[in-house]
Amino acid sequence: MNEQVFRKGFGLKDQVEQDLAQDYRSQLVERIRAQGNVLRVGDLTFRLAKEFGFCYGVERAVDYAYETRKHFPDRRIFLTTELIHNPRVNNCLREMGIGFLNGPGAQDVKLEDLEPEDVVIIAAFGTRVGEMNQLKERGCVLVDATCGSVVLVWKRVEQYARDSFTAVVHGNYKHEETRATVSRALQFPGGRYLVVWDKKEAAQVCDYIRNGGDPKAFLALFREKSSPGFDPDRDLQRVGVANQTTMLSSESLEIAQMLKETMIARYGAEQLAQHFRTFDTICSATQDRQDAIQELVKEKVDRVIVIGGFNSSNTAHLCEIASQYAPAYHIDEADCIISPQQIRHKPANQSVPVVTEGWFPAGPAVIAITAGASTPNRVIGDAIERLVRAKGYSFDQLNPA
């Protein structure tokens, strides 16, 4: 087996810098930042959150993908799945001739069709242990763009499994990151996992720990969200909490507290360490963006535009936070702003985009802008420009910030 795994790029960042700037940077966004994150055009005032858009892990993954194409100009290159959850980025990679083995846009090429000279980029979410082993067995060149924050969660889950604690993961069991994370638990004989989506599901787990119940009924609720052979009577005696890194931080902390209090009630405070562990595995970039939009929307704003892929977990949670304070619209591209009368968006806590009529207020308006950690500045700038022009203004009408 000829195993080659690259985890630190190829030292070609300077050579791809111009392409990255052309595809993803925005002079308008840079100008707004230089003006204290405020832009005024006519009677519109745009206020950018202090933290938004590309995080370090996403920038690193995108850099690696571009460097990979530069380093292997004549090789077939594939991604395990979407590099990140942003349509602009993934479309750019397709245009560069990079294929997808799984997920939206997957081609006819399957993992078993890969040859040793092929190059495979591991997406920022990481990949399941089994798939990684299969790729190594194929002898492909692997470029590992897994986010460092995700790897930290894996280490925590692996430690739980070594110590025979069930990993209770707050996340979406269908999400690539969560699937990769829970696969780490199964590497060890005592490894078990359970995925909870929200506080309601966590409360069902807590109730079973406190009061017991029908194992078959429990498994009917969590069949797709638990490890093979899961036995709630056995596997909920010792639990360790972890998170998908992009979840709503406040909810993750509440779920951990719910489980902690449940274990104290069931086993006593003096036995807590034998039955419960926790570690905050929300990534700092996710937390920073959630804190920033929370701070911004507490000011007087008329509308909030949240920009990011419709399948982006961290973007969806930004919309969820913002919608508690003002009408908030999660869009994935500038063309979602159809006109001042119509907008295509994904409402908070819903999974399907809709078109809303009469979404924009008449007269002066303050618009808060934020974006998920996988959203390029260019997409943000395009959205602002589109709204400015849809209102009939030009950038010749800029007012001092």
Sign of CA dihedral 191, 196, 202, 204: negative
Helices (H) and strands (E) in the chain, counts: 15, 17
How far is Cα 256 from Cα 278, in angstroms, rounded to an integer?
A: 7
How far is Cα 256 from Cα 269, in angstroms, rounded to an integer?
A: 15
DSSP letters of 162-179? HTT-EEEEES-TTSHHHH
Query: Looking at residue 282, what is its pLDDT?
Result: 79
Q: What architecture is domain 56-147?
A: 3-Layer(aba) Sandwich (3.40)
Predicted confidence band at 281 (pLDDT cuts at 50, 70, 90)?
confident
Alpha-carbon Rg for the chain in angstroms = 23
Alpha carbon separation from 125 to 20, 65, 306 (Å, rounded): 21, 14, 21
Alpha carbon separation from 244 to 52, 106, 271, 280 (Å, rounded): 19, 24, 27, 10
Answering whether pTM is above 0.95, one says no
Query: Looking at residue 2, what is its pLDDT?
Result: 47
Q: Where in the chain is the domain with CATH 3.40.50.11270?
A: 56-147
Query: Looking at residue 279, what is its pLDDT?
Result: 85
The per-residue b/e assignment along 249-258, b for 16 or more CB within 10 angstroms, e otherwise, is bebbbebbeb
Predicted confidence band at 400 (pLDDT cuts at 50, 70, 90)?
low
Q: What is the pLDDT of residues 68-94, one digit of tens each?
A: 999 999 999 999 999 999 999 999 999
What tokens appear for 220 in the block?
Answer: 């009917």
- What is the enclosing helix (H) or strand (E) of 3? none
Residue 336 has pLDDT above 60, yes or no: yes
Question: Is 177 among the residues known to form the active site?
Answer: yes
Residue 395 has pLDDT above 80, yes or no: no
How far is Cα 11 from Cα 177, in angstroms, rounded to an integer?
A: 27
Residue 356 has pLDDT above 80, yes or no: yes
**Domain topology for 149-282:** Cobalt-precorrin-4 Transmethylase; domain 1 (3.40.1010)
Alpha-helical segments (H) within 298-376: 313-322
Which of residues 43 and 394 earns the better pLDDT score?
A: 43
Considering the candidates 177, 251, 320, 333, report the single residue annotated as catalytic: 177
> What CATH number should be reported for the domain whose range is 25-55+285-399?
3.40.1010.20
SS3 345: strand
Pairing outcome for strands 77-79 and 98-100: parallel
State phi, psi for 359 to the nearest 5 degrees.
-80, -20
Q: What is the pLDDT of residues 13-71, one digit of tens each?
A: 999 999 999 999 999 999 999 999 999 999 999 999 999 999 999 999 999 999 999 99
